[in-house]
Structure 1
Amino acid sequence: MGKQDMHSDDPLTDFDPREITIDGVTKKVYVSGTGPAVLVMTEMPGISPHVARFSRWVREAGFTVYMPSLFGRDGAVVSADEGADVFRRACVSAEFRAFAADESSPVTLWLRGLASFAHKECGGPGVGAIGMCFTGNFALTMMLEPAMLAPVLSQPTLPLNDPAGLHIAPDELAAVRDRLDRDDLTVLAYRFSGDRFCQAQRFAAYSEALGDRFIGRVLPDNAANPDTAPFFTTHVASPHSVVTAHLIDEEGQPTLAARDEILAFFRDRLTAQ
């Protein structure tokens, strides 16, 4: 894949935009590739060129990408004001519970259904998923779906008002921990050391809850790309998006190494032996 222009809208023409209905709820999902399914859940403020680029890397690694449209304008590089408006609307949406430490966002039920649907379409041992920022810990709750085998949490941001909160119901967390132990599975997670939205307390809470099933990676702040879109420059203002907006696409960079580790994790779990 050649270098993309991260400052211009991405037309997403190499993805098939499909309307997929799960339990009576229909959402647009961008699908591309062949092989086992991997769900890529967008960060704020939507499916940006950076998120689409990551999905293409997943596709090129030998997977079928399912990239659901959950908020924002698909493919757009939005202004700081538009991005803030998307964020505000998501915070009050019934699909998300942005301030709930011990509850799971209702949209995770739909995403679990999408994982099952994608597995039936693509086959293979199971499904992988990565959540980012606002969707960062959704892949953990999705482990309640038996097809899910490879969860990745990238800078999980919710709940917004509790740095140590995990944004999952206690009974669901216990069920996930039991499944990780039973099936010998692990959870990969990433954050920058100085991230204001995913702080050290959150990874400590994950470690306490999941034990050695949780593998947390903390990248140095100086590994973050300073060349970001207006929304990030204005409203994020700290290293945050490990494999998207703050990734430096150059060999030897810690963010590129994180990307490669994630792709290897998907291959290890989802490629039939």
Structure 2
Amino acid sequence: MPDLAGWTRGSHTAGARTRETYRRGSGPGVIVIHEIPGMTPEVIGFADEVVARGFTVVLPHLFGDVGAAMSPVTIAKSLGQVCINREFNKLKVGRTSPIADWLRSLARELHAELGGPGVGALGMCFTGGFALAMMVEESVAAPVLAQPSLPFPIGRARAADLNLSPKDLAAVRQRVAGGCSVLGVRYRSDKATGTRFETLTTELGEGFIRVELDGKGHSTLTAHRQQVAVDRVLDFFDERLRTAAS
């Protein structure tokens, strides 16, 4: 199983909040935001693939135990953490999760250090929509939404909501109109993503690139990974962060 050997532990502070980060690689920057229950071996394994493709990857630690495997116990523990944490918007529509400010700051710092056209940002499941919120920050040039699941799809309004305030949604539309595409990956039958892909297509048009997988599954890049999804994400980072710089 992959572990954090070779990764450098650090931290990032924005406002009054300091969080751990783990970093590895060289080349353009990519921020990979873990899913529930946390920074599992599968998440680290995917991040290692991004490193191997020639990127500097930063893994922020938002919740859960670092390196712990996915299990009913770790899922319950991390759900308990996020449900009482006001940095994550779980149920309200038309609201950006406050954690986006910290993540935007991280992206801004990484881009200032590495230069180039910008950095990539990828969220998964519970954090999937965070990459969309991060692209309000202009340093984010390659946002990827892997099975975005917030707010929890209880009812039609929540199922369609993008976890963005109206102001942030307008900023995202403006970025897309300026040429910053958004990549989304999900299993076509995954109910956790609600109808968000339809909302994204309506709001962003051809600027939203849909990758939809057949079969049963949820975690497109980790527990239920399909190589076609991993390859498309890596190609997207190349197109947006490397080809644009050449």
Short-chain TM bin: over 0.9
Letter in 2 for 1:221: G
In the other structure, the counterpart of 1:30 is: 22
Give me the whole-angstrom Cα distance separating, in 2, the residues matched to 1:106 and 1:206.
Answer: 21
Stretches (4+) displaced over 4 A: none
Size of the alignment, in residue pairs?
240
Q: 2:70 aligned with 1:70, yes or no?
A: no
- 1:166-245 correspondence to structure 2 within 5 Å: 166-182=162-178, 184-199=179-194, 201-221=195-215, 239-245=217-223
CA deviation vs aligned residue, 1:34-67 (integer Å, no higher than 9, x gap) = 0111000001000001100111011111110010
Give me the whole-angstrom Cα distance separating, in 2, the residues matched to 1:141 and 1:82.
Answer: 27
Unaligned runs of 5+ in 2: none
TM-score (norm 2): 0.94
Give me the whole-angstrom Cα distance separating, in 2, the residues matched to 1:87 and 1:174.
Answer: 30
Give me the whole-angstrom Cα distance separating, in 2, the residues matched to 1:221 and 1:11.
Answer: 29
- Which residue among 134, 146, 155 is the counterpart of 1:142? 134
Give me the whole-angstrom Cα distance separating, in 2, the residues matched to 1:167 and 1:71.
Answer: 19
Q: 2:92 aligned with 1:96, yes or no?
A: no
TM-score (norm 1): 0.85
Give me the whole-angstrom Cα distance separating, in 1, the residues matched to 2:11 and 2:145.
Answer: 26
C-alpha RMSD over aligned residues: 1.2
Unaligned runs of 5+ in 1: 223-238, 248-254
Give me the whole-angstrom Cα distance separating, in 2, the residues matched to 1:168 and 1:72.
Answer: 24
- Which residue among 163, 184, 207 is the counterpart of 2:159? 163
In the TM superposition, what is the alpha-carbon distance from 1:76 to its structure 2 partner? 0.8
In the other structure, the counterpart of 2:235 is: 264
In the TM superposition, what is the alpha-carbon distance from 1:85 to its structure 2 partner? 2.4
CA deviation vs aligned residue, 1:185-226 (integer Å, no higher than 9, x gap) = 210001112212113x1111111111111111210115xxxx
Kept after mapping to 2: 8 A contact 1:185/1:213: yes
